[in-house]
Amino acid sequence: MDGSDRRVPIDAQQVAAPLSRSAVFLVVTIPSGDDVLRTALEVVAGIDDLVKSVGFRDLGANLSCVVGIGSDLWDRLGRTDRPAELRPFTQIVNGEHRAPATPGDLLFHIRADRADFCFEFERLLLEQLGDAVEVVDEVNGFRYFDARDLLGFVDGTANPSGAGMAEATLIGDEDPAFAGGSYVVVQKYLHDLAVWNAMTTEQQEAVIGRRKADNLELDDTEPQRAHKTLATITGDDGEELEILRDNMPFGSPASGEMGTYFIGYSRRLWVIERMLQRMFLGDPPGYHDRILDVSTATTGGTFFVPPLHLLEALADGD
């Protein structure tokens, strides 16, 4: 069902909202003080109303918004309960390769098939938040050709689908107080496209682990494993533990700053954490993900995405 078949906009907090042609990734912090905290919570509690106010203008634009709450902010809510795996992003350092941890109390993942809808939603959102927040990172993403990243490869091939989407992304009975929620990790990567484009297609394909033209998987050259292998985590039963990636290219040719914004949703935070450890530290150790030789992580944050009913209750202190 596309937007023209719906009668109402997409509800807020829909992790599995459709992949979009445009996105805004907005990370903010909340200064100390009860008044600013109360204002910020009131705004996020009403995020669904804002989605509907803007989204109703063109349902086919598929406007959606997901709000994530950082570990430090959760500590300020005064609640006695806590999502089981919510914790700060852990910095990873391996020589010149580093996954930094950067500040972030709230993440807003705004998606739409029209860039003007992302713009308008963000404008009204920040107007409502006012001085209650400080913007620490803002990235405007776009869909690039046939779902490729700026390195030229199709991104998101391994995403779950159908019934597997909820199984991969939504917390279940293992943490009943937060069932229906999700964990999300974000990182901003800057690419050195000059170095990447100087490589042959075969060299690039060995790094990614897929053919560039048709996206078919390639075998690894042991012991060096490709990006697609290092980013694949399996459980004790050998089955792959999927995550939902909604990565987006971003950049400005004039400034020379271009890259990929990684965003991964998961029912199990440890799955993404292990994926990053394998990429930066290597598996086996010493064989890091060679995509890091041309891609530098500049941000890193972990957030909990409450289901809508819980998000709406936060302003009441429930």
Write out the catalytic residue numbers. 155
Structure tokens at 98: 């580093």
What's the per-residue H, E or C state across 86-127? CCCCCCEEECCEEECCCCCCEEEEEEECCHHHHHHHHHHHHH
Output Rg (C-alpha) for the chain, integer angstroms.
Answer: 19
Is the C-alpha dihedral spanning 250, 256, 259, 261 positive or negative?
A: negative
270: exposed, middle or buried (Cβ count in 10 Å: 0-12, 13-18, 19+): middle
Residue with tokens 């996020």: 44
d(CA 26, CA 296): 19
Nearest-angstrom CA–CA distance, 96 and 118:
35
Cβ 143 vs Cβ 261: under 8 Å: no
Are 266 and 244 within 8 A, CB to CB?
yes
**Side-chain-side CA neighbours of residue 257 (13 Å):** 9
H/E segment holding residue 55: helix 47-55
Are the beta carbons of 294 and 195 closer than 8 angstroms? yes
